[in-house]
Structure 1
Amino acid sequence: MLTEWVLAIEGTEAGHNVALGLALLAAFLHAVFGALQKGRHDPWVSRAVIDVWIFVLAAPLALFAVPWPEAHLWPILLGALVIHFGYKCLQAAAYTRGAYTVVYPVVRGTGPLFTVFGAYLLFGEAFTGIQWAGVAVLLCGIFGLAAYNLAFLETDRATLRPALWLAVATGLFVALYTTYDAYGIRASSDPFTFLAWFFFVTSLDIPLLVALRQRHKFAHLALRPLMIRGAMGAVIAFLSFGSIMLATRLDKVGEAAILRETSTVFAALIGWLFLRETVGPRRMALMALIAAGAVIVEFGG
C-alpha cells in the first residue's frame, strides 16, 4: 500500500529524493493555483468555489477511504482550520488589492524565511552556512522580482500599499501553516488520513463566509466556467498542498519550504503567458536567482 511505502522511505535517501520531487511539483502547482484564484473572477468568489469542490472531493476519501483520525489529531485539525482560514482571508484580500506578479513574490518571499526558523524551533532542523547563502540568494531574487514589478506597475497603484502589507501578513501565515501542517502530518500514524481529513475540515470556511456576507458577488456571473475553474483549482489544491505536506513528512521541513518557493518563477511565467503581464530580461535574471538559490539550498546540506 501507498501508506506503507511512504513510511518505509521516511528519513531515508530515497525519501529525500521523493521529497525533492514533491516540493518542486508543489511549487509549480501552487503557482497555477494562485493564478486561478487571481484570474478574471473576484478572488473571494474563486476561493469559495474551489473550496466547495475540495469539500465534495474530500468527503468520500475522508469518510470511506482512509482510517478515521486518532483522538489526538482532532485538536490538531481544528488548529489547521483556524490557521488556514486566516491564510485564505489574507491571501484573497491581498489579491483583491494588488497585481498578482507583485503580491505573489512578497507572499512567497516572507514565507520560507520564517518557516526555516519555525522548523528549527519545532523540529531541531539547522541549515549549513552554504544553505543560508542559498536562502539569501533566493530571497534576493524573490524580493527583487517584487520590487521590479512594483517599479513598473501601471495598475492597482492606489491600493498597492495595503496590498503589500497584506502580502507580508500572508507570508507569515504561509510559514505558520507550513510548520503546523508538518507537525500534524508527522503526528498521524497514517499520513493520508491526515491529508484527507485536513482537506475535508478546512474547506467550508470561505464558502460559508462568502455565502453569508458576499452573495451579491455571484450576481450576473457565468456559473459554468466558474464551476470548471473551481473543479480545476480543487484538484490542483489536492496535489499541491498534499505534495508539500508529504514532502515535510519524508524529509526536512525547511528544505521543502525553500524549494517550494521556486513557485515564484512559475508564477511569473504564468502571469506572462496567461494574465498578459510583461516579462523581460531583468525579470528573467531575477527568476534565475531564485532557481539558483533553491539549488544551493538543496546541494549545500
Structure 2
Amino acid sequence: MPLDVILLVLFGALLHATWNAIIKAGTDKSLDAALISAGGAVAALPFLAFLPLPNAAAWPFIGVSAILQFAYFQLVAGAYRAGDIGLVYPLMRGCAPLLIAATSSFVLGETLSGGALIGTMTICAGILTLAFEARHGSRHAIMLALINACVIATYTYVDGIGARISGNAISYTLWMSLLPPVLLFAWAISRRGARVVAIHVRVHWWRGLIGGSGSIASYGLALWAMTKAPVATVAALRETSILFALVISVVVLKERASPWRYLAGVIIAAGGLILKLG
C-alpha cells in the first residue's frame, strides 16, 4: 500500500477515535450520536457546490448507506450504554475487517497479497487483544458490538463500491452524510419528544459540530483510500483508530492502561508495518 494512502488513513483513524470518545464521554449517547451525524452533514454542506454530483449509478448506494449508518449510530449508542469502551470498541472495530477480509474475494473479487493478508490479520488480532482486559462485560454489550461489526462490514462494502462508481469519492462521502441525521433525529423526536431533543441540541451543538467534522473527514479519507487500495486492507488499517483511542485515554483522560493495552499497541503497529512492506 502506498505510503501517502497509509498516512491519510491513519490520520482518519485519529479523527475516528476522537469522535467516538466524544460520544462515550457524553451524558446522552443516543442524542450525541445524532448530533455528530448532523455535524458531519453541516460540515459537508459548504463544499457540495464545488464538487460534481456522484454518477447516477451511485445514488442507490447512497440510499442504502444512509439506512445502514442509521443502524450503526443506534448500535454504537446502545453498545456504549451497555458496556465499557475497552470491550465494545475493539469488538466492533476488530471483527468488521475480519469479516471483510474473509469475504472480499466473493463480494468484490479482490485477492489480497500474502503481506496484505498477514498485515490485516495482525491488526485485527491486536485490536481484539484489547477485549481481554474487559472480557467479563455483559452479554448484551457483546451482542450489540458483534451485530454492529456486521453492520460496519456491510456499509463498508456498500460505500466502497459506491465511491468507486461515483466518479468522485469526496462528493460521494459528502452527499452520503446528509440523510442519516434526518433519520436519527426523526427517530429521536418520535421516542423522546421535540422539546428534549431541542434542549440537548442547544446545549451540546458544539460537540456535534466538532465530532461530526472529524467523522466525515475520517470516513471520506477511508473511502478515497478504497479507490486506491483493496477495501479489506484499508478497513483493517482504519481500525488502528483504537490505538489512538488508547493514547487519548492515557494521556488526556489519565486512565490507567493494563499490559493488554500495551501489547495490543505493539501488535497493531506491527500490522501497519507489514501492510506497508507487503
Structure 2 length normalisation: TM-score? 0.90
Matched residues, number: 277
User: What is the Cα deviation at residue 268 of structure 1?
Assistant: 1.8
Q: Is structure 2 residue 234 aligned with structure 1 residue 256?
A: yes
State the alpha-carbon separation in 2 of the partners of residues 177 and 25 from structure 1.
21
Counterpart of 2:130 (choices 128, 141, 145) is 145
Change (3 A) 1:96 1:217: farther
In 2, Cα distance between equivalents of 1:198 and 1:219: 24
Could you tell me which of 251, 256, 265 is aligned with 1:278?
256
- CA deviations 1:134-156 (Å, max 9, x no partner) are 333323322221111335xxxxx
Match of 1:51 in 2: 37
Aligned to 2:50: 65
Matches of 1:180 and 1:117 in 2, distance apart? 16
- Where does 1:118-137 land on structure 2 (aligned, <5 Å)? 118-137=103-122
What letter is aligned with 2:68?
Answer: I
Residue 112 of structure 1 is matched in structure 2 by 97
Distance 1:195 1:222 in 2: 24
Query: What is the aligned partner in structure 1 of residue 143 from structure 2?
Result: 165
Distance 2:87 2:120 in 1: 20
Question: Aligned in 2, Cα 1:218/1:75: closer, same or farther, shift over 3 Å?
Answer: closer
Deviation of 1:45 (Å)? 1.1
8 A Cα contact 1:67 1:193, kept in partner: yes
Name whichever of 291-300 and 269-278 sits farther off: 269-278
Instruction: Measure, in 2, the Cα distance between the counterparts of 1:214 and 1:277.
Output: 33
Alignment of 1:65-84 (within 5 A): 65-84=50-69
Deviation of 1:219 (Å): 8.6
Contact 1:182/1:249, CA 8 A, preserved across alignment: yes
Of 105-114 and 84-93, more deviation after overlay is shown by 84-93
Between 18-27 and 244-253, report the one with greater CA deviation: 18-27
Q: Which residue of 1 aligns with 2:184?
A: 206
1:41 aligns with 2:27: yes
Structure 2, unmatched stretches of 5+, are none
CA deviations on 1:201-246 (whole Å, 9 max, x unpaired) are 333211221122124755975944x111111011101210111011
Structure 2 vs 1, CA of residues 54 and 221 (structure 1 numbering), >3 Å: closer, same or farther? closer
Give the AA of the match of 2:246. A
Change (3 A) 1:135 1:75: closer
**1:112 is aligned with what amino acid?**
P
| SS in structure 2 at match of 1:251 | coil
Q: CA deviation at 1:97?
A: 0.9
Amino acid paired to 1:207: F
Distance 2:162 2:252 in 1: 35
Q: CA RMSD in A?
A: 2.3
Is the deviation greater in 112-121 or in 36-45?
112-121
Deviations 1:67-112, CA, capped at 9 Å, x for gaps: 2333322212111112211212211111111111211011111011
Contact 2:98 2:121 in 1 (8 A): no
* Residues in 1 aligned to 2:168 and 2:123: alpha-carbon distance in whole angstroms: 34
2:10 aligns with: 24
Contact 2:36 2:209 in 1 (8 A): yes
1:227 and 2:212 are equivalent in the alignment: no
d(CA) in 2 for partners of 1:261, 1:190: 24
Residue 91 (structure 1) aligned with residue 69 (structure 2): no
Q: Distance in 2 between matches of 1:121 and 1:179?
A: 12
1:286 to 1:190, Cα distance in 2 relative to 1, 3 A? closer
Q: Tell me, in whole angstroms, the C-alpha distance in 1 between the residues paired with 2:229 and 2:264.
A: 28
Q: 1:2-21 alignment to 2 at 5 Å? A: 16-21=2-7
